[in-house]
Amino acid sequence: MFPKVRTCLSSGLSRLPSCVNSRRALGASSVLCKHQHRTFSSESAGVRVLYDGLCPICVTEIQFLQFLQRNRPEKVHFIDISLPDYDGMKYKDITYEMAMKEMHVIDEKDKVHSGVPAFAVMYSAVGLGWLARFMTWSPVRPFMDKSYDIFARNRLKWTGRGKECTTGRCERKIP
């Protein structure tokens, strides 16, 4: 296929589908045109993950997921809700307070998922579909829901941020 593509490229992209069989041309043209569709705008992103950038547990997980999707940066966008310019209106009206209570993910179809389903969407988007399926598997799901509920209720206390997060926005601790 590559000699044919090279010949097609040298003779002009407009002839590409006629040089390569149609089944391969579809795959080749999507690869060749990938840069044209890449976007880093939160409004047109694929999956958007809202996370607390001041939570050390959350940040560790997000860094791992960013590593997993390093070759596809347009697939998932991670939005730090702790930044002063976070605007819930841009993200399906998910307020800072809502996002602090539990994980929220907006999928490619603009549907909002929260709690364990949010993790399932996020994990699937970075290539961990097997983990997403396991988490949502009916024998495991009640345990996951209960475990996440306990974590979500206690994460501020467990990360040493309980007092500064009682009202309004959390503030960074100054050592």
* 171 domain residue, yes or no: no
Verify that 80 and 145 share a domain, yes or no.
Answer: yes
Q: Which residue from 113, 102, 118 is spatially nearest to 150, judged by alpha carbons?
A: 102
* 141 domain residue, yes or no: yes
Domain range holding 86?
Answer: 42-165
Q: Tally the domains of the chain.
A: 2
Provide CB contacts within 8 A for 40, sequence distance 6+.
Answer: 73, 74, 77
Verify that 61 and 13 share a domain, yes or no.
Answer: no
Residue 45 has pLDDT above 80, yes or no: no
Verify that 108 and 159 share a domain, yes or no.
Answer: yes
Verify that 53 and 81 share a domain, yes or no.
Answer: yes
pLDDT of residue 36: 30
Verify that 63 and 90 share a domain, yes or no.
Answer: yes
Residue 65 has pLDDT above 90, yes or no: yes
Verify that 150 and 128 share a domain, yes or no.
Answer: yes
* 148 domain residue, yes or no: yes
pLDDT of residue 72: 80
pLDDT of residue 160: 84
Verify that 79 and 143 share a domain, yes or no.
Answer: yes
Residue 119 has pLDDT above 50, yes or no: yes
Q: Average the pLDDT over 36-59 and give the result.
A: 72
To which residue do tokens 């697939």 refer?
Answer: 75
Q: Is the dihedral of CA 34, 62, 80, 149 positive or negative?
A: positive
Q: Average the pLDDT over 96-112 and give the result.
A: 95
Q: Average the pLDDT over 50-69 and give the result.
A: 94
To which residue do tokens 């969407």 refer?
Answer: 121
Provide CB contacts within 8 A for 88, sequence distance 6+.
Answer: 94, 95, 96, 98, 99
Q: Average the pLDDT over 13-36 and give the result.
A: 34
**How far apart, in whole angstroms, are the C-alpha atoms of residue 95 and residue 75?**
23
Rounded to 5 degrees, what are φ and ψ at 11?
-95, 0
* 173 domain residue, yes or no: no
Verify that 86 and 19 share a domain, yes or no.
Answer: no
**How far apart, in whole angstroms, are the C-alpha atoms of residue 82 and residue 169?**
8
Verify that 26 and 62 share a domain, yes or no.
Answer: no
Verify that 88 and 9 share a domain, yes or no.
Answer: no
Mean pLDDT of the chain: 77
